[in-house]
Amino acid sequence: GNSLISLRSTVSCSNSSIQRLESNSSIHKHLISKITATGPISVAEYMREALTNPVAGYYVKNDMLGAGGDFITSPEISQIFGELLGVWCVSEWMAAGKSNTFQLVELGPGRGSLASDILRVFSQLKTVLGETDISVHLVEVSPKLSQFQAECLTGDNTQPNDGDQPVYRSGTTRTGLPISWYRRIEDIPRGFSVFLAHEFFDAIPIHKFQRTEKGWREVMVDIDPESPGKLRFVVSHSPTLASSILIQKDENRQHVEVCPEGGVIVQKLANRIAEDGGAALIVDYGHDGTKTDTFRGFKGHQLHNVLEAPGMADLTADVDISYLRKMTGNEVTCLGPITQRSFLKNMGIDSRLQVLLRNCHDPSTRAQLIHSYDMLINPEKMGHRFQFFSLLNRGRLAQYRGMQKNTAPLPVAGFAELDMQ
């Protein structure tokens, strides 16, 4: 994921720097020999290799976040973001009946900033959380990023575990909670959980499809016959397995991106929330089934050709929230999408900013607080590009739905104004 919108229109990368990157990219070489041997590959396979190849994938070997990296995200911009999401987690735990155990689960935690701000809120709300047995569970493919997360959240009070164990690292957070790292959601223990996914789904591989006179065809990645070291997109001559099963019957766009792996992940979340209780909050660049061609690359805060130097740049596609909603089936209640601006305003970002400003007298820190607040909620910046989408256990709103015929504001923090009483 990425978020620097102001730079989106500046596509620039000199030819010489691209060539240097390409010759450095072992994934590029690997894909060229693979396509030479067995033919074009799907965009999903290309994206999966570029991002998560276990040796040279972008997320596996890079520290791409922050000002010196390729993109910067909301939790990195301001502590207020994570604090408000922390309040949301506690508020949902309370509304769901204050379960005795409470698993905070984050998918793709990056540098760990979001979890760190949330855990600070949990500490501050100790009296509310009482004797609850809280634990932290992180799903992260990148061993390198798991190290950053361990450093940030525990001061590296963790043990890497041997070999292929499902829990590949574990320890104790700075705030004294047990914390574990996993590669897959299935490996997290069952139990009441609040799941968070911030700029996670946009990094999950998509398939791309084009409507043609002969019907839907999958867009594939092939070698450019004009210049054999280069990759290009081609439209498959005949249907592929993906093109025959992933297009919805009522589809009316000309070009579609589908993220079946994202669909499977959201099904797993829905399933657990239905059976074990809890909620999920998904935050991403998103649309509700209307956009077409959103697959793009970022390097050094600049747009980057997706087919150049795979593994050296971030690849991302807007999340189709209508698809995620469809994949949850009828197992959970879905809320949203609602814009980041509305969600954060509903969570009380304005009063939180005022509190921080009141306690801060250094002019440059004050300016920084105001600037980062503006980045988060300005509609021209991140305020309208980012969408919040939530899954709740069906029991959560049953009473409300029964009693009020939907005229009262939703009793869910963030999706309606927070009642501070």
Q: Tell the smallest beta-carbon distance from residue 205 to ligand SAH (Å).
A: 8
Q: Tell the smallest beta-carbon distance from residue 318 to ligand SAH (Å).
A: 15
Q: Closest CB to ligand SAH among 240 and 316?
A: 316
Q: Closest CB to ligand SAH among 216 and 386?
A: 386
Q: Closest CB to ligand SAH among 93 and 200?
A: 200
Intra-chain end-to-end CA distance of the chain, in Å? 36
Distance (Å, rounded) from C-alpha 11 to C-alpha 13?
A: 7
Q: Tell the smallest beta-carbon distance from residue 37 to ligand SAH (Å).
A: 25
Q: Tell the smallest beta-carbon distance from residue 375 to ligand SAH (Å).
A: 14
Distance (Å, rounded) from C-alpha 398 to C-alpha 392?
A: 11
Q: Closest CB to ligand SAH among 117 and 199?
A: 199
Distance (Å, rounded) from C-alpha 340 to C-alpha 358?
A: 24
| Tokens matching residue 165 | 């164990």
Q: Closest CB to ligand SAH among 52 and 99?
A: 52
Q: Tell the smallest beta-carbon distance from residue 262 to ligand SAH (Å).
A: 10
Q: Closest CB to ligand SAH among 109 and 277?
A: 109
Asked whether 106 and 196 are in contact (CB, 8 A), the reply is yes
CA 292 to chain centre: 19
Q: Closest CB to ligand SAH among 223 and 283?
A: 283
Distance (Å, rounded) from C-alpha 338 to C-alpha 306?
A: 29
| Tokens matching residue 254 | 């000309």
Q: One-letter amino acid identity for 44?
A: A
- Residue with nearest beta carbon to ligand SAH: 108
| Tokens matching residue 296 | 């793009």
The two beta strands, 332-339 and 386-393, are antiparallel
Q: Tell the smallest beta-carbon distance from residue 108 to ligand SAH (Å).
A: 2
Tell whether omega for the bond before 239 is within 30 degrees of 0, i.e. cis.
no
Q: Which residues bind ligand SAH (CB under 6 A)?
A: 1, 51-52, 59, 65, 73, 75-76, 108-110, 139-142, 145, 198-200, 203
Positions of E strands within 236-325: 255-258, 278-287, 296-299, 302-304, 314-316, 319-320
Asked whether 150 and 171 are in contact (CB, 8 A), the reply is yes
Q: Closest CB to ligand SAH among 96 and 270?
A: 270
Q: One-letter amino acid identity for 125?
A: L
Q: Tell the smallest beta-carbon distance from residue 98 to ligand SAH (Å).
A: 27
Q: Tell the smallest beta-carbon distance from residue 203 to ligand SAH (Å).
A: 4
Give the dihedral sign, CA 288/290/292/293.
negative
